[in-house]
Chains A and B, each alone.
Chain A
Amino acid sequence: MGSRLARVALTGVTALTMAVPAGCGGGSSNEAGSGAGGSSSGVTGSVTVFAAASLTESFTTIGRDFEAANPGAKVTFNFAGSSALANQINQGAPADVFASAAPKNMQSVTDAGNADGTPATFARNQLVIAVAKGNPKGVKALTDLTRPGLKVALCAEQVPCGAAATKALTTAKVKLTPVTLEQDVKGALSKLKLGEVDAALVYRTDARAAAADVEAVEFPESAGAINDYPIVVLKNAPNRTAARAFVAYVRSDQGTSVLTTAGFQAP
Chain B
Amino acid sequence: MEKIRSLKFPPYTSRVERAWHYGHRLICLLILVFLLLPILVMIPLSFSDSTLLLYPIQSFSFKWYSALFHSDDWIRAAKNSFIVAPSATLIATVLGTLAAAGLHRIEFHGKGLLMAVLISPMIVPLVVVGVGIYLFFAPYGLVNNYSGLILAHAALGAPFVLTTVTATLQGFNDNLIRASYSLGANPLRTFFKITLPIIAPGVIAGALFAFATSFDEIVVTLFLAGPEQATLPRQMFTGIRENISPIIAAVATILIIFSTALLLTLEWLRGRAQAKTVASGGTPGH
Partners in one complex: no
Which residues on B are within 8 Å of A, measured CB to CB?
none
Which residues on A are within 8 Å of B, measured CB to CB?
none
